[in-house]
Amino acid sequence: MAKELTPRSENYSQWYNDLVVKADLAENSAVRGCMVIKPYGYAIWEKMQAELDRMFKETGHSNAYFPLFIPKSFFSKEASHVEGFAKECAVVTHYRLMNDPNGKGIIVDPDAKLEEELIVRPTSETIIWSTYKNWIQSYRDLPILVNQWANVVRWEMRTRLFLRTTEFLWQEGHTAHATSQEAIAETEQMVNVYANFAEQFMALPVIKGSKSANERFAGALETYTIEALMQDGKALQSGTSHYLGQNFAKAFDVKFASKEGNVEFVWGSSWGVSTRLMGALIMAHSDDNGLVLPPKLAPFQVVIVPIYKNEEQLAAISEKVNSIVTKLRSVGISVKYDNNDNKKPGWKFAEYELKGVPVRIAIGPRDLENGTVEVARRDTLEKQVVSMENIELYVQQLLNDIQDNIFNKAIIFRKEMTTPVDTYDEFKEVLQNKGGFILAHWDGTSETEQMIKDETKATIRCIPFDQVPEEGTCMYSGKPSKGRVIFALSY
RNA sequence: CGGGGUGUAGCGCAGCCUGGUAGCGUGCGUCGUUCGGGACGACGAGGUCGUCGGUUCAAAUCCGGUCACCCCGACCA
């Protein structure tokens, strides 16, 4: 066994790291905190991008591209925004290198200092709103519904493949509207798009809700989030959508003439998901044998492994396989035929299990005689010998079953790992011994949330949209509360 | 930035305490036998032991400096 994973029960975090590397998704690069996303991992990201991009366009958005660099002065224009990002910005100060006069390689040319430093974007609100100022004069120019696919840099202290890297890939939508109602509707629409994507494609159940003031995006009036629960009982913020009010319009003086002839500031939203979704996908479904991918996002949904003793057998099998491949593709199933002669079937079985391919078809001499194939599903590891007749319909149904099954499993897990508590002692007990989402009453103040965070590291993941109204008292302060919020330890 | 740890073959590690021929697993190459759950045998290629300096007849090993990376904390999508 060349590629054994650390079991989850032994060390969940190690399991995750092992899995990312051994399933060939990504690896650490020569640059501190930055990862190389390998072809197999990138293929999954491309699948996610394709679906999200389609969903954005269906809701009326267009893609555009803004600069990687942001003049430093732009950042100071929105006070809470700079406050939130200042500590993690990479800064470009020079534009030229030169040979070291002391002969020790290459140094930064001290004469090539920039007049104004450039920030490598940690997010693009500032550069985009400075641009929108030029695009908007009248209500007729609104709304602007733009998305960009980009990389951003946040100089984090500690990084983990996909979950938190110094540079990461994401999309950021930035919209401008004539009314606050419209901007809020957009913010809500996009958090719903994210939730639908997570649940329908990633098979990842999420809870939609609002962030508390402490956890809100720097510069937003309101942050909506989708929160997912990982197998170790920790929460992962998987996507956010921010209602910006007129904050950035005021900071960058973006005004429009309304229908009534008044000059008003524009209302905004921004929303994003990142390669962190890869981390969520990996952790949500995978097991000690490796990755488990939802069929809708797998780079290939079916792998076919031939079993043979000699060239003639392989030729006979390959002929059958070709017809199977054609049939599968005809119903839109993606297939890889692995006839690599350098690896044995056993090796291939283990390898594709590790890589999370949803369905494996093995075909050997026995099958040729019987007109059958062996079909194995990754989620349950069950194997079944089925007829080659109508194989495409069987596999199509199986892929649907797998997609549903892993989603249902995740829902059941979340249900088991969601615990209502009424006292702070109970809260600490559950947090320590069980983890997961904890539903508790909170008095609504930042102070209380901060105290709980300082004492337990748990934060309010969100105030759920579907919060049940319920009179209660804050577990920490005893003050009145009108409903439970979700606490958890988080990534 | 505080605490801990590690740099030796592509990868994972042993050797260091007690200085004296550079070692194991895996991976890689060739050949043969294998092939329905990570095959086996034979032969072979591959390392100025992170780096700079010191001690010594002799340094992977002892001493000092330095660099890099990893883990735990504070920060975070």
Does residue A4 have a pLDDT over 80? no
Using C1' positions and the CA of A346, the closest nucleotide is B37
Paired strand residues for A274: A170
ipTM of the complex: 0.88
The integer distance in angstroms from the CA atom of A104 to the C1' atom of B62 is 31
- The residue-averaged pLDDT of A294-313 equals 96
Residue A225, CA: closest nucleotide via C1'?
A: B77
SS3 A369: helix
List the nucleotides on chain B closer than 7 A to a protein CB.
1, 26-27, 34-39, 68-77
Dump pLDDT digits (tens) for A211-260.
999 899 989 999 999 999 999 999 999 999 999 999 999 999 999 999 99
Protein CA at A18 to nucleotide C1' at B20, angstroms: 41
So what's the pLDDT on residue A34?
86
- Per DSSP, what are the bridge partners of residue A418? A437
For the cut 80, the answer to whether the pLDDT of residue A291 exceeds it is: yes
At A399, is the secondary structure helix, strand, or coil?
helix
Q: Which nucleotide is nearest to A352 (CA to C1')?
A: B38
- pLDDT over 90 percentage in chain A: 82
Give the CATH fold of the A24-71+125-285 domain.
BirA Bifunctional Protein; domain 2 (3.30.930)
Residue nearest to nucleotide B27 (CA to C1'): A2
Which CATH homologous superfamily contains domain A302-412? Answer: Anticodon-binding domain (3.40.50.800)
Distance, Å, A104 CA → B48 C1'? 22
Residue A104 has pLDDT above 80, yes or no: no
The domain limits of chain A are 24-71+125-285, 302-412, 418-488
Q: How confident is the model at residue A1 (pLDDT cuts 50, 70, 90)?
A: very low
What's the Å distance between residue A167 CA and nucleotide B70 C1'? Answer: 19
Return d(Cα A404, Cα A180) in angstroms, integer: 38
* A103 — pLDDT class (breaks 50, 70, 90): low
Separation in Å: B45 C1' and A27 CA: 28
Thinking of the domain A418-488, which architecture would CATH place it in? 2-Layer Sandwich (3.30)
The neighbouring-strand residues paired with A236 are A228
- Does residue A413 sit in helix, strand or coil? helix
Helix (H, G, I), strand (E, B) or coil at A321: helix
